[in-house]
């Protein structure tokens, strides 16, 4: 058994550990705040991973899938916390994947105007991304993650032992989120063993979060060629959205058979095709994106019959969007950048290349 690795998200007084490795969940109790007497454990029926906080615990179940990631679920949790007698001195523990960490974290952020929480990430997607960084929130019918907060956990536990029980498609979805880190500075990612790959992705994300906790870095992204400069999104943590603009649109549309990581994989390849159309990268960069996605056996093309006009409409509502064209994270001569003002005709043409 490989030794546990303890990494850190460096946020000064709010810094916190991320423990990675086989059996890491058994160390959860050591991270509970000294003031806590109760722990509200939020999970889903299908997770099946038990934890012990050393406190008086009650388990609260939420529904499965993105359908449960809504304000009604948050209200239900907060009312249950109140009946349980949870106070501001206690802790909420999220045990599950990205949906659980997003919903439980947001409930913790708003209940009593903020209660401590910890993440026990039980999916690959959560371990390499969703459980780390303090972005919590829920969806609206109009788009993903449109209501949320920044609320950092006390600790994140990434127990790689539990990944062996994931359904194959759920594991593959995590690989889609992992794949983006190959373009964010993690070298030779597909060749690393699981524990090392998770740890390297955590380290990478932690650097972005520490440098730009609230996605508000100072420098503004460049404009696409031929567009009028406009105030818009910034660099820094926003680069972690690579592949997500189209990926989220595919998920929001709701009628494509794609999990989050699968949609992101399509979004990564699309972003490379779009960057080539804008003269930012060459054929070699596109081929590299295709190879990384293929190495994880992930989809790289749009679903059959994809409604391109609908996808563009959804992308206009993306949190990063500006009035002057669409906004994407794109590769280029200087690496990944947030690019404002991308003409919709170029976006449609790039999507057509993936049909």
Q: pLDDT category, 222, cuts 50, 70, 90? A: low
Q: Are 250 and 266 in contact (CB under 8 A)?
A: yes
Distance CA 119, CA 325 (A): 37
Mean pLDDT (whole number) for 190-202: 95
Tens digits of residue pLDDT in 110-141: 999 999 999 999 999 999 999 999 999 999 99
| 110 vs 236: which has the higher pLDDT | 110
Give me the chain's average pLDDT, please: 92
By percentage, how much of the chain surpasses pLDDT 70?
A: 92
* Per-residue pLDDT, 228: 32
Residue pair 40/92 in contact by the 8 Å Cβ criterion: yes
Residue 84 has pLDDT above 50, yes or no: yes
Beta carbons of 63 and 87 less than 8 angstroms apart: no
Cβ-in-10-Å burial (0-12, 13-18, 19+) of 205 comes to buried
What does the CA dihedral 113, 118, 123, 126 come to, rounded to 10 degrees?
Answer: 60
| Domain architecture of the chain: domains with CATH | 5-165 (3.40.50.1970), 215-353 (1.20.1090.10)
HEC per residue, the chain: CCCCEEEEECCHHHCEEEEEECCHHHHHHHHCCCCCCEEEEEEECCCCCCCCCCCEEEEEEECCCHHHCCHHHHHHHHHHHHHHCCCCCCEEEEEECHHHHHHHHHHHHHHHHCCEEEEEECCHHHHHHHCCCCEEEEEECCEEEEEEEECCCCCEEEEHHHHHHCCHHHHHHHHHHHHHHHHCCCCCHHHCCHHHHHHHHHHHHHHHHHHCCCCCCCCECCECCCCCCCCCCECHHHHHHCCHHHHHHHHHHCCCCCCHHHHHHHHHHHHHHHHHHCCCCCHHHHHHHHHHHHHCCCCCCCCCCCCHHHHHHHHHCCCCCCCCCEEEEECCCCCCEEEEEECHHHHHHHHHHCC
Question: Between these two residues, 226 and 149, which has the higher pLDDT value?
Answer: 149
Instruction: List, in sequence order, every residue forming a beta bridge with 58; answer none if it has no partner.
Output: 40
Q: Is the pLDDT of residue 93 over 90?
A: yes
């Amino acid at each position: 058994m490989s030794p546990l690795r303890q990494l850190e998200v460096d946020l000064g007084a709010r810094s916190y550990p991320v423990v990675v490795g086989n059996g890491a969940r058994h160390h959860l109790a050591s991270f509970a705040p000294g003031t806590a007497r109760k722990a509200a454990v939020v999970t889903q029926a299908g997770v099946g991973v038990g934890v012990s906080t050393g406190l008086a615990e009650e388990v609260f179940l939420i529904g499965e899938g993105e359908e449960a990631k809504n304000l009604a679920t948050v209200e239900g949790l907060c009312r249950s916390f109140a009946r349980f007698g949870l106070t501001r001195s206690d802790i909420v523990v999220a045990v599950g994947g990205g949906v659980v960490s997003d919903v439980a974290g947001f409930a913790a952020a708003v209940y009593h105007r903020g209660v401590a929480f910890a993440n026990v990430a039980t999916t690959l997607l959560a371990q390499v991304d969703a459980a780390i960084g303090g972005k919590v929130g829920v969806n609206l019918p109009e788009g993903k993650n449109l209501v949320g907060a920044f609320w950092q956990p006390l600790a994140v536990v990434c127990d790689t032992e539990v990944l062996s029980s994931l359904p194959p498609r759920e594991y593959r979805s995590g690989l889609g989120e992992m794949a983006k880190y190959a373009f964010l500075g993690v070298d030779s990612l597909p060749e690393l063993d699981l524990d090392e790959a998770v740890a390297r992705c955590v380290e990478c994300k932690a650097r972005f979060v520490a440098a730009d906790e609230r996605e508000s870095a100072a420098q503004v992204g460049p404009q696409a060629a031929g567009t009028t400069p406009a105030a818009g999104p910034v660099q820094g943590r926003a680069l972690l959205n690579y592949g997500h603009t189209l990926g989220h649109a595919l998920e929001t549309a709701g009628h494509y058979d794609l999990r989050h990581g699968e949609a992101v994989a399509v979004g990564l390849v699309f972003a490379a095709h779009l960057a080539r159309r804008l003269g930012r990268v060459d054929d070699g960069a596109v081929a590299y994106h295709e190879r990384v996605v293929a190495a994880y056996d992930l989809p790289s093309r749009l679903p059959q019959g994809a409604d391109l006009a609908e996808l563009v409409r959804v992308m206009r509502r993306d949190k990063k969007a500006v009035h002057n064209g669409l906004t994407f994270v794109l590769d280029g001569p200087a690496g990944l950048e947030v690019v404002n003002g991308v003409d919709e005709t170029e976006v449609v043409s790039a999507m057509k290349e993936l049909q």
